[in-house]
Amino acid sequence: MTIADIMMLFSVISIWSLLLVNVVLIIAGYLYYIKNDKRAIPDIEGEAPFVSIMVPAHNEGKVIVQTVRSLLALDYPHDRYEIIVINDNSSDNSSELLAQLQHQYAGRQLTIINTDAVTGGKGKSNALNIGFQQSKGELIAIYDADNTPEKTALRYLVAEMMHDSSLGAVIGKFRTRNRDVNLLTRFINIETLSFQWMAQAGRWNLFKLCTIPGTNFVLRRSIIDAIGGWDTKAIAEDTEISFQIYRLGYRIKFQPKSVTWEQEPQSLRVWFKQRTRWAKGNIYVIVKNIPLLFDRSAKRVRFDILYFLSIYFLLLTSLIMSDAILIMNALGYVETTIAGFSSFLWLLAIVLFIVGTFVSLVTEKGEMRFSNLWIIMLMYITYCQLWMIVAAYGLYNYIKDIVFKREVKWYKTERF
Amino acid sequence: MKSKFTWLLIACIIVLWHGHADVNVSYAAEQQQAQHVLLVYDSLAVGSAKEGNVDALKRLLSSMGAEVTTVQLEQYAEGRLADYSHVIVMRNEANPIYESDKLLQDMEQYKGNYMHIGSSPPDQLKEALSLELKEEPSEGITLVLDRFSGTIALNHGDKLIASTANEVNTYGNIYSYKGDNASPYGAKLGRYAYMPFYNRGDMSEWAASFVIKDWLGVQRQGNVYVMLREVYPFSDLDKLRALSDQLYEAGIPFIVSTKPLFSNFDYPAAIRYAETLKYMQSRNGSILVDAPAVASTISADKSVLKQNMMSYIHFLAEHDIAPLGATAEMYWFADQYYTAEGLSFYDSAIMLPNEKVMSYLPTDTITAYSSSVYSIDVERWQQYASREKVIQSMPLDIALTINMLDDPALLEQQLAWLAESWTVYSDYKASNHRVVTDNDEITAEQGQLKVNGQTVVLQEAYASISSEHVYIEEQEASLEQLFTIQNKIFIVLIVIVLVIFSVLILIGYRMYRKKYRR
């Protein structure tokens, strides 16, 4: 066996193992969805806990008004929640728009914090820390500035939290508001439903584990106090905080009935920037938390660290390595003698990917369409391949940031 | 008794001597001492109607067994004439603007054979032939020579021979459209010869061969061969076999110029190609190897040509096919690299006119081959030769070529013309040819073909070749067993998962349809 053979073997084992893990997660997630659908959301017993909804925003003038309005319209007792918008170093008209809203809803608990380059402008984590200092709620909810939560979203999350004291956080779903705009938004819609939510549901069902998605979630104030606020260096503050919650002995639950609708990138350029940022952020968190793999107190986190490690390092390197070996083999630079799987098996694997992804869509209203089958097929040859480039570029940026010691900045998704 | 024995001995010696002399004569006729010809030209006449006539003349001379060296007038170095037995000066410019004093001086001393083509013949030649030239007012003329005739469009400044001394041998008759007295095309006396013009692709090209033959002193009569060109492994092989049957039944022996293969000799397509060539050989076909197409003279790996050519010859030899010589465009024979690496195995060659010159190491001298044949398209030949005339004498060996890539209707028409023609076609393998490579020796002696000493048995049986072939040898793969087992396990697993997914889709469909309908 040559070195290329060993590398190829390693890649093949990794890819197939991850494929199987994904299949298991889809089945477990699906079963959880069915179980959860039959189960009624528990009621909030007694007085509803006071919730501070924090909305970090940076130049979000185009969307912030709609977001705040929908938050004001939640079916949670109005005197039991406050909304804190951290308008962080915005250069657009966000502050004027928010001031108008504040005036309009003078009777509601709506706080606007405007920061400048000196007091803010250091990223989402920093903005959340600023908002947290002014918050009063025993529970903290976070929504992104481009969200339109359904009325029941917050109530469902809080009800789950109050029902189980072992929960450190409860997360809901975000859906694609602009899914019908173009092919890219359709891809994103399928991606979030399948690879985000079905996988989260599967992880919860199997390991009682979830990862905070960045929006539409509540967590206990005590947790933020205990961990000393958000890590301002982390761009993927959600993943980071998830690990911290596990370490404190809590669990994170996924309640798919709590839904918020989010504006997703409509152009490839914006999508690429956003996903590269996520990839880089997740890599930061994974690298930072690798020592937890050997920490007895962090048993619960292990699966998540391994899961992220597998996706961002194992799968990425395996795909790049196997593709590189295939190309170099075709060009005659590398010789491999290793046997391979049959073409039929590879074909079955692709069918598995398509059917598996489609299964995730069945649970959503209006998604079980034949047109989605074609989109999934197209997604396999385009979007999924782009993911590899995104992840590789994220890793490259992460390394560059370490080498040049660059500081984390707001790097918001552009609006249109 | 003693005297009787002496006479018997003398008689035996005489008989043996005669037998030996006969053999020598036949070989000598084919292997005449090559004449060294220096061709001096003033211009290649690029862009004019005469363009290509220098190359055409070189081809003609080479086909007559001469070793030809060309030099442009301006490049002529003093004293060069002395090295050559024959000198041709070709004047393409109607009004020469350059005269080489060195050449003129050398000419005064030169005692060899001198031919002048075109305008401004030197005084010594004019005097020797008592040559007078005249202007020809009409542009169109007809040239008749022996059994051949053709029309010629004269170029501006071309003159015709008005008169010569009585003892001068003249060649052909030129008739103008006005019906004036006929003028001869060529004139020769002793060591001097003259032709007023020489164009590529018209009757003058063919008529010149008669003058040159006498001027070079070539004694032997030429043969006429039929040659099929552009035969590839991907040609219609069934059609080729049918064609060879057609020629065989018409009693026409033929030459097949085959494009070589350099690899994949074990492929069914290659073996089918060989089987077809073998069949054609058995139908009185002589197989020749065509030069491979030159794609680029810059980037191609030049080191492999010799090996490739030898491998193709070996491939043919292995299939009892005797390649007897080479066919190539003219520039191959005027290139040091191509002659050394691609043509050095052959003593017989057929020179084709240049179509696209892709020289690598061009040289000004073309080496003589012991058997060289001049090729003419049947289409052009039909313009000169009449189908219903018996050709009395051929100045040189010619191959009438049929291009297999031509339109089938044209091909059919040409074959019919050849079959009905009164010309007697010769069998190429009836003369002597020899091909020697590092691995093989192929000979044709008096019609007998030998491959590596073994006589080739001409068999008509055509073996049909199965298409089943392992094109790529399967490599021994490592971990084969592990992958085979895993393959099966994965297939079973995926099928199970797909079944589970189908059930999930079904459950979901029923459940959510009800839910969302509400």
Question: pLDDT tens digits, chain A, 416 residues: what are they?
Answer: 677 778 777 878 888 888 888 888 889 998 898 888 888 888 888 888 999 999 998 888 888 899 999 999 999 998 899 999 998 888 888 889 989 988 988 888 888 998 887 777 778 888 888 999 999 989 999 999 888 999 999 999 999 989 888 899 999 999 888 888 898 899 998 888 887 888 889 988 888 888 888 889 999 999 888 888 887 776 667 777 888 888 888 888 999 889 999 888 888 888 888 888 888 877 887 888 788 778 777 777 777 788 778 877 777 777 787 778 778 877 877 776 666 677 787 788 888 888 888 888 888 877 778 888 888 888 888 887 788 888 888 888 888 888 877 655 545 555 55
Give the Å distances, CA to CA, from A345 to A341, B476, B492.
6, 21, 10
CB proximity list for B117: less than 8 A, separation 6 or greater: B57, B88, B89, B90, B91, B194, B195, B196, B197, B198, B208
Place of tokens 């030129």: B174
Closest Cα partner for B433 from B30, B33, B63?
B30
Chain B environment of A367 (Cβ under 8 Å): none
Please say whether the beta carbons of A284 and A235 come within 8 A: yes
How many CB pairs below 8 A link A and B? 83
- What is the Cα–Cα distance from B239 to B245, expressed in whole angstroms? 10
Please say whether the beta carbons of B240 and B462 come within 8 A: no
Chain A environment of B496 (Cβ under 8 Å): none
3-class secondary structure, B57 = helix
Give the Å distances, CA to CA, from A228 to A54, A129, A167, A231, A381.
17, 9, 19, 8, 44
Take residue A404 and report the two structure tokens written for it. Answer: 């040049």
Per DSSP bridges, beta strands B348-352 and B371-377 are: parallel
DSSP state of A192: I
Burial class (CB in 10 A: 0-12, 13-18, 19+), A315: buried
Nearest-neighbour CA in chain B from A23: distance (Å): 8
Amino acid present at A14: S
- Residue B478 and residue A359: Cβ atoms within 8 Å? no
Query: Which residues, given as ranges, of chain B have pLDDT below 50?
Result: 1-31
Among B498, B500, B509, whose Cβ lies nearest the Cβ of A368?
B509
DSSP state of B41: E
Per DSSP bridges, beta strands A147-149 and A139-142 are: unpaired
Angle at B257 between CA B253 and CA B261, to 5 degrees: 140
Q: How far is CA B348 from the centre of its chain?
A: 10
- What is the Cα–Cα distance from B426 to B399, expressed in whole angstroms? 10
Nearest-10 crossing angle of helices A383-404, A316-331: 110
Closest Cα partner for B210 from B143, B128, B156, B118?
B143
Structure confidence at residue B38 (pLDDT):
94
B500 touches chain A (CB under 8 A): yes
Instruction: Confirm whether the ipTM is greater than 0.90.
Output: no
Length of chain A: 416
Chain A environment of B482 (Cβ under 8 Å): 339
B480 touches chain A (CB under 8 A): yes
What tens digit of pLDDT does each residue of A67-126 get? Answer: 999 999 999 998 899 999 998 888 888 889 989 988 988 888 888 998 887 777 778 888
Nearest chain A Cα to B474, which residue?
Answer: A337
A347 touches chain B (CB under 8 A): no
Alpha helices, H only, B302-357: 305-318, 330-333, 336-342
Closest Cα partner for B200 from B374, B9, B458, B430?
B374
- How many CB atoms sit inside 10 A of residue B12's CB? 10
- What is the Cα–Cα distance from B224 to B66, expressed in whole angstroms? 19
3-class secondary structure, B356 = coil
Place of tokens 């060294």: B36
Structure confidence at residue B474 (pLDDT):
62
- What is the Cα–Cα distance from A299 to B284, expressed in whole angstroms? 89
Please say whether the beta carbons of B493 and A23 come within 8 A: no
Q: How far is CA A296 from the centre of its chain?
A: 27
Nearest chain A Cα to B493, which residue?
Answer: A20
Per DSSP bridges, beta strands B173-176 and B254-258 are: unpaired
Among B479, B505, B507, whose Cβ lies nearest the Cβ of A9?
B479
- Residue B490 and residue A363: Cβ atoms within 8 Å? no
Please say whether the beta carbons of A53 and A82 come within 8 A: yes
